[in-house]
Structure 1
Amino acid sequence: MTINQELIQSFKTKYQTEPINHSVENAVAKVGFNQSSFNNEAVKDHSFVFSDETKRGKITDQKKSGRCWMFAALNGARVNAMEELNLETFEFSQNYTLFWDKLEKSNFFLDSIIETADEPLNSRVVQHLLQAPVEDGGQWDMFTALLQKYGSVPKSVMPETYHSSNTYEMVSIITKRLRAFAKELRTAYQNKASKEDLKAMKEDMLYVIYNILVKALGQVPEKFSYSYRDKDGKYHRIEDITPQDFFNKYVGWDLEGQISVINAPTEDKPFGRAFTVKYLASVAEGHPITYINAPIEVLKDSAIASIKDGKPVWFGCDVGKMSDRELGIMDKDLYDYEAILTEAPQLNKAERLDYGESLLTHAMLLVGVDLDADGKPVNWKVENSWGEKSGDKGIFSMSDDWFDEYNYQVTVDKKYLDQKWLEALDQPIIELEPWDPMGSLANLK
């Protein structure tokens, strides 16, 4: 069938015979699809009052960067630091971890180019690597590798710069150079250079990236001193400490004891098995990305156990679906598109993943939950990193139904997870392709 005038006229006639279309057309022209289909009844279900909450600090702002995964992880880590330092609030330097993440991603990219030098340039793997070598996004295990290797520092020790808060230009410049380096490495290999020769070429390439990062983000401290007054007004000074020692002493997380649990109910990912993603890492020698796939109730139960124990929960979701940034509400019924548009086939969670309709796009922190009389979650309290102008001064409310449909990952201490799910780690880890939706958060823009 082709589109011809007869077909168009039949469409036009059908459209004009449905009286509601004209009213909806005017509304959409004025305020758009979302506001025209907004369901105010859903708002009434979000009082932003929660039965169980963890401690948290002041709301942070990632600004024009894709560092949500860093902000969420560091916002969780600072709860421990606040307790150890006796502070009402505290903030780690996201610029410090950004610096090392960009350098490590550059190194990992060049290593991957060397590893795939035998592949044709138009292979899907090589083209995937070239697409976004140093995007801002990342996964939980990528961040733990940064913490283990480099530690962390207070925000005042390495504050924000223009390019830490506005990363697009810096990322574009680094990406351009990395692609040129990839061409040099592949050309050298075609001209009979060995892969060992290519690795020797890499050092000069990495210095170019280091040079850019220092100019954009500043010098990274090897040791530092930190002065502060605690919440009782008492002055303290921590002298001459390394970032690694600061993290270990004032956060003290057992990073090996943390595990990511995903809910990907697709046929290719059986529950009770562990997965990793090929060519997805930041620190080359770090622990590989590891997920245990489980039913959604397992994610909820482990998150509730952690929250009840006072520990915030890092999670990854598809934040753009059925959510309102200004109100800070994530609710499956927030927009009634079918009321103003033609009915459309509905995809379930697995089908949305399989057909590209949904994937992980944002990481935040669960800092509370509202449980009903039977102990079942109604709404979840979410600490975001978009500043205080979003939501209830930076806090979002997520309905439990939304959690079912659009939440894909939580990271918790292994003690909050039933042992039968941890047994997945005793089986061979299944490798997912680099473009799998479960690796998408690392390419967040």
Structure 2
Amino acid sequence: MIDTALLEKFNNQLTSDPASQAVKNAIAKVGINEASFNNSVMRKHTFAFSQETKKGEMTNQKASGRCWMFAALNTARIDTMKKLDAEDFEFSQNYTLFWDKLEKSNYFLDSILETATEPLDSRLVQHLLTDPIQDGGQWDMFAGLLNKYGAVPKSVMPETYHSSNTKVLNTLMTSKLREFAARLRELKENGSSNEEIAMEKERMLSWIYATLVKTLGEVPTTFTYAYHDTKGNYQAISEITPQNFFAEYVDWNLEKRISLIHAPTKDKPFGRAYTVKYLGTVKEAQPVRYINTPIKALKDAAIASIKNGEPVWFGCDVGKMSERKAGVMDTETYSYDLTLNEPIRLTKAQRLDYGDSLLTHAMVLVGVDLDENDQPINWKVENSWGEKVGKKGIFSMSDQWFDEYTYQVAVDTKYIEEKWLKALAEPIIELEPWDPMGALAKVL
């Protein structure tokens, strides 16, 4: 029991320690992170890397959780820049946001119908209702969008207020989708025919579509794109569809781009493939799937890709031991053990099991600094928060930080050891919707 005597004991312990008094005053003035910042860590991050890929100008997701889209499109644009012979290029993240919102709405409504016999207060139904239209996603979800809708240059469908500021749009659409969910469950309960339910669902999707057009703009079916190549010559691509633009000017085989994850928990053996129930965007697309491997497999694949000039999409817990302004991600960024007297001792597996960490953000690996034994020291990271953070938007990530807080990379199968790819030939293990590996990258 916490009583007066115990509180007096705690206070005496604190006040008798001069160092704690000094730390208390520092934290009160500047906050825990500033007071705990380990300035010597900056010496480890010179932002010089022995292996680098080409990259475009920095992008900015602004007040939206579209990091996974920005990271995927920033990875894809390198191939587009080569094919166009252009110094720079940027895809429209608004275009993919439009289709993501529409497809997520459809996925949600279908999921509500599939679970209509579940009690309303069941964990599954409440999970579905929690955040049906949020901005976040994972690699395979975006691959489904690219396969179905392709991609367009940014000038073809530029940003709008609500593509860069999604909070109000998400709030309104979430309320409406919950209303639709209540209506669909009522129709099911009252014995309405499949035809009646399908017509009602179509009416709901029509409202979603109209709302997206009003807030994000009309999506192009064909377009013309004009630009200047590296020699300054005017070039124009006339009357092309988004699907054909992606096929011709990115030319990825999305079936061969696989996600490796590192989830060192007892319930997920390495060398097996996993998916997550009720996680997706395009309903008819291939389900989310990833292969769980040791962390070295993620690094080896990423290094091989970077050496071949191909940047790497990756997902991590960006808020842990990360200094945004300096652009440094390092396990020694903050000396909490000195300011708070004890370090946080959770292992990576424990952080996942006890809800202390999960994938929150997606970025792009565009370089790595290797030592004389070809082992990584620091990684060069392209973020999507504009040029006012890091070194003009570039972050430096220590290899130890990669170990602790990186959870996923997406690479071509040619960079993955065959022994891990064999997992795809075995039955894919289904994880519950609330499993930490079902977390979505969406940090602003």
Query: Is contact 2:159-2:216 (8 Å) kept?
Result: yes
**In the alignment, is the contact (CA less than 8 A) between 1:114 and 1:195 conserved in 2?**
no
Q: C-alpha distance in 2, partners of 1:422/1:244?
A: 28
Q: Which runs of 5 or more structure 1 residues have no equivalent in the other structure?
A: none
Cα 1:188–1:96, aligned 2, differ >3 Å: closer, same or farther? same
Kindly state the Cα deviation for residue 435 of structure 1 after the two structures are TM-superposed.
0.9
Aligned to 2:160: 161
- Kindly indicate whether the alpha-carbon contact (under 8 Å) linking 1:114 and 1:199 is maintained by their aligned counterparts in 2: no
For residues 417 and 196 of structure 2, the distance between their equivalents in structure 1, rounded to whole angstroms, comes to 48
Contact 1:138 1:444 in 2 (8 A): no
Q: Partners in 2 of 1:296 and 1:199 — Cα distance?
A: 46
Q: Tell me: CA distance 1:327–1:345, structure 2 relative to 1, closer, same or farther (3 Å).
A: closer
TM-score (norm 2): 0.99
What is the CA–CA distance in structure 1 between the aligned matches of 2:90 and 2:64, rounded to whole Å?
17
Q: 1:16 to 1:399 in 2, by over 3 A?
A: same
2:210 is matched with 211
Secondary structure of the structure 2 residue equivalent to 1:130: helix
Count of matched residue pairs = 444
CA contact (8 A) 2:361 2:442 kept: no
Partner AA of 1:151 in structure 2: G
Counterpart for residue 51 of structure 1: 50
Q: Does 1:232 align with 2:234?
A: no
1:202 aligns with 2:205: no
> After the TM superposition, which residues 64-83 of structure 1 pair with which residues of structure 2 at under 5 Å, given as runs?
64-83=63-82
Where does residue 266 of structure 1 map in the other structure? 265
Shift of 1:193: 2.1
Q: Give the corresponding residue for 2:91.
A: 92
Tell me by how many angstroms 1:8 deviates.
1.4
| Offset of residue 439 of structure 1 | 1.0
More moved, 310-319 vs 224-233: 224-233
Aligned position for 1:404: 403
Return the alpha-carbon distance in structure 2 between the equivalents of residues 243 and 387 of structure 1: 26
- Residue type of the partner of 1:44? R
Deviations 1:192-225 (A, max 9, x none): 2245542332000000100110000000000001
| Letter of the structure 1 residue corresponding to residue 176 of structure 2 | R
1:364-379 pair list within 5 angstroms:
364-379=363-378
**Counterparts in 2 of 1:391-430, with a 5 A limit?**
391-430=390-429
Aligned partner of residue 44 in structure 1, secondary structure:
helix
The unaligned stretches of length 5 or more in structure 2 are none
Aligned ranges 1:232-311 → 2 under 5 Å: 232-311=231-310
Task: Give TM-score, length-normalised by structure 1.
Answer: 0.98
Letter matched to residue 164 of structure 1: S
Q: Deviations over 1:353-408 (max 9, x none)?
A: 00011000000000000000000000000000000001000000000000000000
Q: Which amino acid aligns with 2:107?
A: F
- Asked whether the 8 Å contact 1:228–1:237 carries over to 2, the reply is yes
Deviation (angstroms), 1:267? 0.4
Letter of the 2:255 partner, please give it: E
Q: Deviations over 1:259-312 (max 9, x none)?
A: 000000000100000000000000001111001000000000000000000000
Matched, 1:187 2:182: no
1:200 & 1:306 partners in 2: Cα distance?
A: 47
State the Cα distance separating 1:7 from its structure 2 match: 1.6
Give 3-state SS (helix, strand or coil) of 1:47's partner: coil
In structure 2, the partner of 1:143 is: 142
- What amino acid is the match of 1:305? A
Q: Which residue is 2:173 aligned to? A: 174
Aligned residue in 1 for 2:316: 317
Aligned counterpart, 2:127:
128
Q: Percent identity?
A: 63
1:316 and 1:441 in contact (8 A); partners too: no
* CA offsets 1:127-150 (integer angstroms, 9 cap, x no match): 000000011000100101100100
Amino acid paired to 1:6:
A
SS in 1 for 2:314: strand
Q: Which amino acid aligns with 2:272?
A: R
How far the C-alpha of 1:321 sits from its partner, in A, is 0.3
Name the amino acid aligned to 1:361. Answer: T
Aligned to 2:350: 351
**1:342 deviation in Å?**
2.8
Contact kept, 8 Å, 2:65 with 2:441, in 1: the verdict is: no
The Cα of 1:21 is off from its aligned counterpart by 1.4
CA distance in 2, matches of 1:74, 1:345: 36
